[in-house]
Structure 1
Amino acid sequence: METERRALLGVDLPVVAAPMAGGPTTPRLVAAVGSCGAFAFLAAGYQPTETVAAEIAAARATGLPFGVNVFVPTPVPVDEAEFRRYAARIADEGRPYGLDLAAAPRTEDDDHWAEKIALLVHDPVPVVSFTFGLPPAAVLRDLQRAGSRVLVTVTDPAEAAAAADLGVDGLVGQSGHAGGHYGTFTPDSPAPVRPLAELVGLVRARTGLPVLAAGGVGGGADVRAALTAGATAVLVGTLLLRADESGANRTHREALVDPRRDRTVVTRAFTGRPARGLRNDFIDRYEADAPLGYPALHHLTRPLRRAAAAAGDADRVHLWAGTGYRAARAAPAAEIIEELSRPL
């Protein structure tokens, strides 16, 4: 696995900083992880292309290996009537912040897909990973010709087989215990939640490709279990949310250690796509009424989530977290990575 890891990622340590879109992943975090001999991903999701380019330049200046994660445009359309119904349903949540959610437009976009792919082809990075689906074959070929190794996030063996048939260089096997959005290709019928080691074994056996394991890691024992099951390396995201270099907001950081936040749940109430986070009042009030509808619901609730995070209102903001969230601690990222990488 060490030889495979070095060939795929160019590093020796088996722990990788996962891409966390929306703020937690910063160039400073990527540099800190790289400085201790591990690999880290930048998160291109929700970022303007110019910002992605600047972050790539900052990461490249360190001289350390890194990757970029991109969301594949796989919209989950919601019709206007259903969107308007849900916007009206949650409207009271926005009023304390001066937001008229009931009048919000229905926005369906592709997160600047073409511009980001053009950037990565013309300014290639060591590794590109995709989430939410398969990139077109032509995009895969262009990135590989540019010198990038390409990974796809998968949540079950069938998705893994489809990615292998496309010709990817490796896979990110994401368990349902992971924090944030599920990378499933089928958000209306996600794969059953499996233990991470079991998923790694199934995906590895089905494809023979290198597998980066992701989801629910709560400590070194989970890392070692995934490696024993055949993982090339193990991604951690939630465990880095409270790191010194993380860009996670204070509201999110404090919620991770709030004893009242006693569980994670899967919700589509914030973004219209299944995602795991700490249970809060917004989820309790609206999960049963929330339609599938990504990215329209993401854009609908985004102003509310930003305002609530700034105000310290943890009950109106998404608190993405995997099941290992209690192990997240405030410390330098390099210290967290090195601790997780220690052998038995």
Structure 2
Amino acid sequence: MNHHPALTASEVAALWNAYMQNTMAYRMIQHFATVNEDEDNNELIQNSLDACGFVIDGVKTIFEREKQSVPIGFTEEDVNLKVSRIYSDLFALRYIKYMAAFGTAASASFLELLARMDVRDFFTNASNKFISLYNEITDQLLKKGAFIRSPTMPPMEKTEYLQNESFLSGLLGRHRPLTAIEIAHICKNLETNSIGRTLLIGFAQTAQLPEVRTFMDRGSQIAQKQETVFREIFLEEGMPLPSTWDSTISKSTDAPFSDKLMMFHTLQLNMISVTAYGASIAGSMRVDLGAHYTRLLTEILQYSNNGVKFMIYKGWIEQPPQNVDREILKNKH
């Protein structure tokens, strides 16, 4: 059939979220591009800007064609390209790698909700761009000897089925060894908290408003505490700890980013952590791990809720597209 159906609510949500996240990332990476001193990174940083730009332009084109309001997102007013660096060039690479992985997952996760071919094609192409960027950055980090690998474990000598419920809670008060899946989740959550902690320390150092500085300080403390929880699990397991991600932060107090952008970015990191902890609970069969994740998840949700309230108070949160209020329409008569 030759017809042009309207965008569904799911399609609008996917496009709107993609625009907000990529305008934010674009401004972050613009700063990294301006202060970068490692020539090996130039092409990778430009490729990351191109990937974000592809999403921004694509969403704008679709929304304008459909007479949808284009979000404000984050603009040139949210980044100051005249100030000195806050983070190292190596951290910039790790940040881009992390965001490329998130961009890939976010693009792919929406596909099952999309019907229109043009929107599906758009997110498929966006996902492919972020996958390519992730692989390029990973190759570069490996070449520099700076890729943080998860711990290794001895190969399985045989396959077998579980025989009793002690696999869930341990045997005689002792936890059974971690599975490879549980190790993978812990490593992922270590990386998220490490990157978040480094970002928030820099944000606290450069934020203009005292309330924002306090919020960032609190966030970096939460991230450090949660990192410690995961590291202690590995120590109890007798496993080697992954190397610490680069957290070099300069002494500059000049703000490259607006307080609005930094608050939004922090809430995005919280959202990523909540999603990751949910997946970790599903993938972890040891009862103690589930208890850890549930506790840490509650802490992040409370912290994030405080951030949302402050951003609403400041008028910094754009209203997402929403359905019409039928009660208001009825009362117009």
Report the TM-score when normalising by structure 1.
0.26
Q: Which has the higher helix share?
A: 2
Q: Which has the higher strand share?
A: 1
Report the TM-score when normalising by structure 2.
0.26
Higher Cα Rg: structure 1 or 2? 2
